[in-house]
Amino acid sequence: MQAPLVIGHRGASAHRPEHTAAAYRTAWRSGADSVEPDVVSTRDGVLVCRHDLDLALTTDVADRPEFASRRREVLLGGRLVRGWFVHGFDLEELRTLRARERWPARRPGSARYDGHFGVITLAELLDLREEESLRAGRTLGVHVELKHASFFEALGLPTHRPLLELLRARGLTSALSPVSVMSFDAEVLRRVRRAVDVELVQLLDADRHGLRATRPRALRRVAAYADTVGLHRDLVATGAVERAKAAGLDVLVWTLGPDDAPALLPDLLDRGVDGVLSDAPDLAVAVRRSRRAALVS
């Protein structure tokens, strides 16, 4: 893979409804090296690609009368949220839903595809990765983010267990695996590390962790169980990239929107980041290509 990696955030989420097969396929075919699925668990313990627990944000569930009674209140992050939650549905039920663009006014091109695609499982995404790798003639990657790990643990649906089963069944457990595992939850990453040798990415942001999480001592602790840190873009200006590198960690930066790649990516390249997550991976790939051409000319 080329450096820095371009990782399609939720697929090519600026161009197709996020976390659909079409979004992932579009990302890879536009030159992305990897894609980033957030994964959550169904009621029957299957990992599916969704960012939010509430399905109403990105599917047509609120318009489906057969599921009206599934609306619930759930305590999330210290506040009650009312919605249709993924862990209240089994996989067969989820397969009847159709994906929607979460920001139709901001992404009208993506919103044109509302209703065209369904929910995809992580297993199906790994199958798609193999197909697209053969088509591209190169090994494509998947950066799996385990979302809400402690929430699902409390429900008796620990998401790292079916993930490990998938990785073992497909022989994707070594340090050379094209699958990486990411999380904000350090404990779930430690559990994965005890079982497999895939790349682990500790996600960090200032709101969740505070700037102290990017101090040298804290980053050295991360390096004891993870290979990489995924820094929110707002942390770049604090010197976090350089401190992480000094701790022996690779660095990913998230998330570049469609307007950000031309403005921000050159500076990230200068700082030596190892990868970027982008909603419009085609634009990030174009900037990377033009920057490389300028350096060799």
Report how far residue 23's alpha carbon sits from residue 9's, in angstroms, rounded to the nearest whole number.
9
Query: Nearest Cα to 118, choosing from 209, 220, 49?
Result: 49
Q: What percent of the chain has pLDDT over 90?
A: 91
Q: Collect all residues with Cβ–Cβ distance below 8 Å to 194 and sequence separation of at least 6.
A: none
Q: Does 104 have pLDDT greater than 70?
A: yes
> Hey, is 272 helix, strand or coil?
coil
Give the CATH number, domain containing residue 166.
3.20.20.190
> Is the separation of the CB atoms in 272 and 253 below 8 Å?
no
- The verdict on residue 267 lying in a domain is yes
DSSP assignment letter at 36: E
Please tell me the predicted confidence (pLDDT) of residue 296: 65
pLDDT at 54 over 70: yes
Q: What band does 297 get if pLDDT is binned at 50, 70 and 90?
A: low
pLDDT at 275 over 60: yes
In this predicted structure, which of 44-53, 70-79, 143-152, 190-199 has the lowest mean pLDDT?
Answer: 70-79
Residue 151 has pLDDT above 60, yes or no: yes
State the pairing for strand pair 38-41/47-49.
antiparallel
Res 77: pLDDT: 77
- Cα–Cα distance, 25 to 14 (Å, whole number): 13
Coil, helix or strand for 283? helix
**DSSP type of residue 66:** G
Q: Is residue 79's pLDDT more than 90?
A: no
In a domain? residue 249:
yes
CA-based R_g, the chain, Å: 19
Contacts for 173-176: CB closer than 8 Å, 24+ residues apart: 173/197, 173/198, 174/198, 175/199
Structure confidence by residue, pLDDT tens digits, 214-231? 999 999 999 999 999 999
| Average pLDDT of the segment spanning 210-216 | 92
- In sequence order, which residues have a C-beta less than 8 Å from that of residue 120 and are 6 or more positions away? 19, 20, 21, 24, 48, 49, 128
Residue-level pLDDT at 211: 85
Number of domains making up the chain: 1
pLDDT at res. 192: 98
Tell me, what's the pLDDT at 60? 98
Residue 204 covered by a domain: yes
Backbone angles phi, psi at 8, to 5 degrees: -70, 115
Average model confidence (pLDDT) for the chain?
Answer: 95
- Looking at residue 2, its pLDDT comes to 64
Within-domain flag for 109: no
Q: Is the Cα dihedral 229, 232, 238, 239 positive or negative?
A: positive
- Which amino acid is present at 295? L
Q: Which residues span the domain enclosing 146? A: 5-55+118-296
In a domain? residue 80: no
The string of DSSP letters for 152-170 reads HHHTT--THHHHHHHHHHT
pTM, full prediction: 0.96
Is residue 1 pLDDT above 70, yes or no? no
Asked if the structure places residue 234 within a domain, the reply is: yes
* Inside any domain, residue 153: yes
Of 252, 251, 264, nearest to 291 (Cα)?
264
Does a structural domain hold residue 105? no
Of 37, 30, 13, nearest to 101 by C-alpha is 13
The SS3 assignment for 141 reads strand
Structure confidence at residue 96 (pLDDT): 98
Mean pLDDT of 253-279: 93
Q: Is the previous residue joined to 255 through a cis bond, with omega within 30 degrees of 0? A: yes
pLDDT score at 48: 98
Q: Beta-carbon neighbour count of residue 32 at 10 Å?
A: 28
Q: pLDDT category, 40, cuts 50, 70, 90?
A: very high
Q: How confident is the model at residue 291, as a pLDDT?
A: 81
CA dist 177 and 266 (Å) reads: 28
